Structure 1
Amino acid sequence: MAVMDRSLWPRAYLRHFQRKASFQFAALTWGSRGDVQPFVALGAELVRRGHRVLLAARAPFRSFVEEHGLEFFEMEEDGTEDLMHSLASSAGGADGVKLMVSWQRRMVPSQLRQFWKASEGADVLINNAAFTGPALPIAERRGIPIFQAFFDPGFIPTRRYCVLDNRIQERNAFLNVAATRLKNIAGGLFSWDLVNAWRREHRLPVDLLGENLRPGLLFRLPVLVAWSQHLLARPDDWPEWFAQTGRWRLAAQQKPSQRLKDFMDAGEPPVYIGFGSWGVHDKKAVTDILLEALRVTGQRGILHRNTVDGRSELPANVYVDDNLPHDWLFPRVKAVVHHGGAGTTGAVASAGVPSVIVPAFFAQDVWGHLVRQKGIGTMLPRRELRVDSLVAALREVTQPQVVERAKALGVNASKEGAEVLAADEIERRLQDAARMG
């Protein structure tokens, strides 16, 4: 592969970068386990290659991070759960945007302060591009390379598609690019003054445009696209240093409990139901719906404890727990009913089973529409979650043609070796950076 032209990696990001046999990485994260786990998977692969990786995350993830050989930097509580619950209970639209802006205004100063500490001594940064934008000026000020990871479509401009009305749409090339750029500009302007206050304090030039992911910079930095090409293929107009790797998975699967294995062995493959981090406000009502839908369809069920209420009596064909390792469990179930987070959607696709996506907010709608478009599942709007609608969705996704399409996609997606590809790309680009420094 050709060495990148010097203009494709701004000189400011290489001022203090030095060629080394191994590097100290700082992975800067935000959010729930679904947001943190991909960086643990990539970090574990980098550690296996002899690098050191520090991962910045909230306190509940310390043991998870450290047991995979990574160093841990404890971030302050960032309001993740409150934001997820608020978004899930909002009406969406302007209400959802208002919540995100409020969160962004609160979190940007905190991330700037904490990421600055976490990146001390780092040679290279890796960040979640959509939710940890303050990592960019920190990398610029420290004069070190940064790799931006994207887990959801709609943030990188392309002539092929854009995300409008919470779905992938193929308009004309101009509109596709313009829609994404305008969305990114708006996102940056919400915290423009906060970021520039930090930039002035650290003697960096003011960012006059205020575009959070402005193409003038975005297209001059390496990007890791962490969703499967079999779900959404890489556009041809992205530069060659935008590497689409697929979903980063932990090499060593979390082991299931004996109780879970016994349940799996006791009957037909069950349906898994779990709504991740968005939270269920009326758990009794939702639990009633889920149990009745399983009864009507005659399915066995595995329910995540965070999704249901604490009732002590459950049908014999229902299993409830919070130790439910996705990569072990999903290939063994009939279908997965979930919230449509990028990580869970990728895990279900790689497992080769159909999805019923019940999205909590806008980013998850995109995956819901995509799996429906691919014919590997369906989407059920959260406010339409009823016994009859869930029964219909379960019957739809267990049709033979849906099962076969999901299985075929899973065969391909499961072979991607994404965390290895991502680590290869990082090491290759750092070799390029060393030659340019």
Structure 2
Amino acid sequence: MKITFLTLGTRGDVQPYVALAKELIKNGHKAMICTGTSFKHFIEGNGVDFHEATADLMAILESEEGKQIFNGGKVNIFKMLKFAKEVITPAYRKSMDDFFVASKGSDLIVYHPKALAAVDISEYLNIPCMCMPPVPIMYPITEFPNFAVSANKNFGPLLNKLTYKVISLSESSYIKDINDFRKKSLQLPKRKMGEYTFKIKDKAIPIIYPISPFLFKEVKSWKDHVFLSGFFFLDVSEDKLDQALENFLESGKKPIVISFSSMPLKNPVVFKEKLLKALNETGNRAVILTGTSGMTFEGEENVFVADKAPHRLLFNKAKGIIHHGGVGTMAEALLSGVPQLIIPFTVDQPFWANRMYQQDYAIKPLREKNLETSDLVKALKAMEDVKYIENAKFIKNVIESEKGLEKAVAYIEKFRG
């Protein structure tokens, strides 16, 4: 069986597909991922075929103009709309044709909701498709609202379910381009916005969430509509920590690890000062992965600073972890078996921060905008609380036992018969 994965976005939008593609290949199948060129080396380095999609959202985000617009820079709404019209929308339109070429000859298309026209390609090529969002945002349920509407409130069953209507509206800015693609590339008639969100001509589109079913035990309304496999974890057996970092880890007690990945702090200088004070007051060492946070350091005592490092290997050596709450980083933190504090920024991060706290798998979340040194001190001390230590060990064992990749492969093989 040949499976083509269509996805666009950041690392968190690509890595689950790489992990699943590798597992499928290991089980005798063929797999290809079509996405932005920023991930070509990452994908091919994991033994998966790559096909370029014009819309390289990661490159756009990392461009100077992209950083200003999407990372909280002082840009007016008109400039943002102009950038979307002139850069993003044309790239999305070209990517539809890239997806079309990549999908030919496939037995199954697995797509991210951002991969516009995946369902239209499935219809034209008469190839089954499966939707695989990295986060639980697609199917309307009664237990909690769409996190795009609220990350921590519960409006009751009826209103909760209604909040998922926004998913059907997500094509609104691009339906003109989708229909242009349908007409010019597929010779298909126009369709309405959201018409193929859950079905193609009355045939349901399977949805798979690569997340832990244990963390959503109370959700019953996904039954028979959504499959929760468990988190996907890439094999890191060939990864290594930098020798200088290894030396730091071995030279003293376990550190607090801080990583915000690609999330920029609004005031990195102030946050850094508060963080260092809290570390000093609690007697903690730290490994700080600066990423694009904006923080810079100059020889601070008991602190090791690096741009990035393999999360799996580093988190396992931590006393506690402070991170932004992206689903990939959060899953790795759960797998580490140590307490975590989430300081969320945007999108799904506040949802995960609240959910992990409510289930006692993370300390009460903090936000940068009103953060005090005393808040960080309290959180660092909480990482020594037996409750959080024991709960972290417990959920680690649960996450490991779920074997998300194996179950996802079995689900796909059963679906294709």
Q: Which interval holds the TM-score relative to the shorter structure?
A: 0.7 to 0.9
Q: Give the residue type in structure 2 aligned to 1:175.
A: L
Q: Give the residue type in structure 2 aligned to 1:81.
A: E
- 1:142 aligned to which of 98, 110, 125: 125
**Structure 1 stretch 391-400 or stretch 360-369: which is displaced more?**
391-400
Preserved CA contact (<8 Å) 1:108 1:134? no
Flag structure 1 segments of 5+ consecutive residues without an equivalent: 1-22, 432-437
Shift of the 228–310 alpha-carbon distance from structure 1 to 2, 3 Å rule, reads closer
Q: Report deviation, 1:385.
A: 3.7
Of all paired residues, the percent bearing the same amino acid is: 25
Q: Give the residue type in structure 2 aligned to 1:320.
A: V
- 2:246 aligned to which of 261, 279, 283: 261
Q: Report deviation, 1:228.
A: 1.0
Partner-residue secondary structure (3-state), 1:188: coil
Matched, 1:396 2:367: no
Q: Report deviation, 1:100.
A: 11
Distance across 1 between alignment mates of 2:343 and 2:68: 15
2:39 corresponds in structure 1 to: 61
Shift of the 326–99 alpha-carbon distance from structure 1 to 2, 3 Å rule, reads farther
**Structure 1 stretch 300-309 or stretch 333-342: which is displaced more?**
300-309
2:142 corresponds in structure 1 to: 159
2:50 corresponds in structure 1 to: 72
Q: Give the residue type in structure 2 aligned to 1:354.
A: P
Partner-residue secondary structure (3-state), 1:348: helix
1:190 corresponds in structure 2 to: 173
Shift of the 329–312 alpha-carbon distance from structure 1 to 2, 3 Å rule, reads closer
Partner-residue secondary structure (3-state), 1:37: helix
1:28 corresponds in structure 2 to: 6
2:222 corresponds in structure 1 to: 238
What does 1:334-413 correspond to in 2, within 5 Å? 334-377=319-362, 378-413=364-399
Q: Report deviation, 1:341.
A: 0.8
Q: Report deviation, 1:206.
A: 2.4
What does 1:33-182 correspond to in 2, within 5 Å? 33-76=11-54, 77-78=56-57, 79-81=60-62, 86-89=69-72, 105=89, 107-129=91-113, 131-163=114-146, 165-180=149-164, 182=165
Preserved CA contact (<8 Å) 1:81 1:277? no
Q: Give the residue type in structure 1 aligned to 2:385.
A: Q
Distance across 2 between alignment mates of 1:140 and 1:332: 48
Distance across 2 between alignment mates of 1:84 and 1:363: 20
Partner-residue secondary structure (3-state), 1:379: coil
Flag structure 2 segments of 5+ consecutive residues without an equivalent: none
Preserved CA contact (<8 Å) 1:226 1:247? yes
Length, aligned pairs only: 404
What does 1:219-234 correspond to in 2, within 5 Å? 220-233=204-217
2:255 corresponds in structure 1 to: 270
Q: Report deviation, 1:291.
A: 2.5
Partner-residue secondary structure (3-state), 1:89: coil
Q: Report deviation, 1:24.
A: 2.1
Q: Report deviation, 1:211.
A: 5.2
Deviations 1:15-67 (A, max 9, x none): xxxxxxxx222212222222221111111111111222112233332222112
Q: Report deviation, 1:84.
A: 7.0
Preserved CA contact (<8 Å) 2:20 2:409? yes
**Structure 1 stretch 326-335 or stretch 368-377: which is displaced more?**
326-335
Preserved CA contact (<8 Å) 2:321 2:340? yes
Distance across 2 between alignment mates of 1:104 and 1:374: 38
Q: Report deviation, 1:70.
A: 0.7
- 1:423 aligned to which of 400, 409, 414: 409
Distance across 1 between alignment mates of 2:376 and 2:368: 11
Q: Give the residue type in structure 1 aligned to 2:205.
A: L
Matched, 1:318 2:303: yes
TM-score relative to the length of structure 1: 0.82
Partner-residue secondary structure (3-state), 2:208: strand
Distance across 1 between alignment mates of 2:353 and 2:49: 35
Aligned-residue CA RMSD in angstroms? 3.0
Q: Report deviation, 1:281.
A: 5.4
Q: Give the residue type in structure 1 aligned to 2:62.
A: E
**Structure 1 stretch 351-360 or stretch 35-44: which is displaced more?**
351-360
Preserved CA contact (<8 Å) 1:184 1:211? no
Distance across 1 between alignment mates of 2:18 and 2:5: 9
